[in-house]
Amino acid sequence: MGVRKKISADQRKEAKKSLYFAKLNDVPTSPRKMRLVADMIRGMEVNKALSVLKFSSKEASNRLEKLLRSAIANWEQKTEQKADDAELYVSAIYVDSATMLKRLQTAPQGRAYRVRKRSNHVTLFVDTKNTNDNDNQN
- What pLDDT, on the 0 to 100 scale, is given for residue 107? 96
Dump pLDDT digits (tens) for 80-104. Answer: 888 888 889 999 999 999 999 999 9
Task: Tell me if 40 is assigned to some domain.
Answer: yes
Task: Tell me if 112 is assigned to some domain.
Answer: yes
φ/ψ (deg, to 5) at 118: -85, 155
Single-letter amino acid code for the residue at 37: V
Dump pLDDT digits (tens) for 39-64. Answer: 999 999 999 999 999 999 999 999 99
Q: 99 lies in which domain range?
A: 20-137
- What pLDDT, on the 0 to 100 scale, is given for residue 132? 52
Quickly state the pLDDT bin for 138 (edges 50, 70, 90).
very low
Count structural domains, the chain: 1
- What pLDDT, on the 0 to 100 scale, is given for residue 120? 97
Q: How many CB atoms lie within 10 A of CB 38?
A: 21
Task: Tell me if 8 is assigned to some domain.
Answer: no
CATH number at 78 reads 3.90.470.10
Task: Tell me if 6 is assigned to some domain.
Answer: no
